Amino acid sequence: MASLPPLNIEGTNLIQYGEAIPHLQSCLTLAKGMNFPNFEIAIHYCIEFGRFNGFSVRKKRVEKNNDGSIRLRCIDCEHSGKIRDNNKIMISNKGSKKTKCSWHINLSQPLNVNYVKITKFVNTHNYELLPDNTLFAPQFHGLSEDIKSDIEHYVKCGVIDLPTIKSLLKPKFSNQFMLSQDLLNYIQKIKREFGNSGSDGTTLLNKLFIMQKDDPSFINRL
């Protein structure tokens, strides 16, 4: 879905969408003072910014008003923070993402206004960004028809778990970026069409795979 023309509020651009928030097809720019219609869209932009630039963001600190509405949300880099002493032994053999990275964004919704503003933006990292950002160029438009066709074939043959399907696709489509969530969504779609619901164990395995992909240290906390 294409974005609506930007509205101007207090001299800054208000980025606005319709009912659905689409994946962005080109790299965007974030800056202090930029406004968004709500926290959902603001956070979506932060996530997309990280994807294009080769890192993942996390929703961190949140502050709320007396009525429970959010007034401030901090978004930081997945490498922010430091390893806690009681976790060092647990992850010593696997490594840690924690590098005390300072990249972060503060989002704020002032009282009596209907927009969310970037009030602070520290756009620096203390580690080398992954080269995968080139995969988020404008030519990326989700899963290709060839990938979808292969997924349909695997599901028809009874292969329905995400880790196995992804491992089968990766050698053949090594130059194409595939989001785990996009793959899982399409697998579920094909399973519904062919009446193959899969087992509870497969569903759990898929969910754990997504969670570990988002946070490699997750399994250590189980």
How far, in Å, are 23, 47, 60 from residue 20 at the CA level? 10, 16, 24
74: nearest Cα among 31, 119, 104, 42: 104
Give the pLDDT confidence score for residue 56 in this predicted structure: 82
For residues 38 and 116, is the Cβ–Cβ distance under 8 A?
A: yes
pTM score of the predicted model:
0.50
β partners of residue 57: 77
Q: What residue type is 52 in one-letter code?
A: F
pLDDT tens for residues 96-132? 567 889 999 999 998 888 899 999 999 998 887 764 4
How far, in Å, are 36, 44, 61, 88, 92 from residue 110 at the CA level? 12, 20, 17, 40, 43
Give the pLDDT confidence score for residue 23 in this predicted structure: 63
Give the pLDDT confidence score for residue 197 in this predicted structure: 53
Maximum pairwise Cα distance, the chain = 57
81: nearest Cα among 54, 106, 58, 63: 58
Q: Report how far residue 99's alpha carbon sits from residue 81's, in angstroms, rounded to the nearest whole number.
A: 7
Phi-psi domain of 198 (left: phi exceeds 0; alpha: psi -120 through 50; beta: other): left
Q: Report how far residue 214's alpha carbon sits from residue 180's, in angstroms, rounded to the nearest whole number.
A: 10
- The domain locations on the chain are 7-133, 145-221
Give the pLDDT confidence score for residue 6 in this predicted structure: 43
Residues with pLDDT less than 70, the chain: 1-27, 83-97, 130-142, 175-177, 196-222
Give the pLDDT confidence score for residue 10 in this predicted structure: 40
Give the pLDDT confidence score for residue 205 in this predicted structure: 52
